[in-house]
Amino acid sequence: MTQQERVHVATFCGSCNCGCPELYVDPTAPEDRRIVITDDFGQEIRMSAAQFGDLVEQARRGGLDAALVA
């Protein structure tokens, strides 16, 4: 899978030139691996849109705020 097939959604940080984490949708991937989050070390996490939606909803409710102070 090449990055050219991915649709870029967001860059996290973006205020430096360090290869910031990014969020993509890979429309050619199986449904359970369509959402792609890359990090600045060349690794990636893949998940379904439903899993990502759950993550977003938890963040909206403040359920992930503790990770910011950990």
Q: Identify the helix (H) or strand (E) that includes residue 25.
A: strand 22-25
Closest residue by Cα to residue 27 from 53, 8, 51: 8
Give the tens place of pLDDT for each residue, 3-15: 668 999 999 886 7
Give the tens place of pLDDT for each residue, 24-61: 999 999 999 999 999 988 899 999 999 999 999 999 99
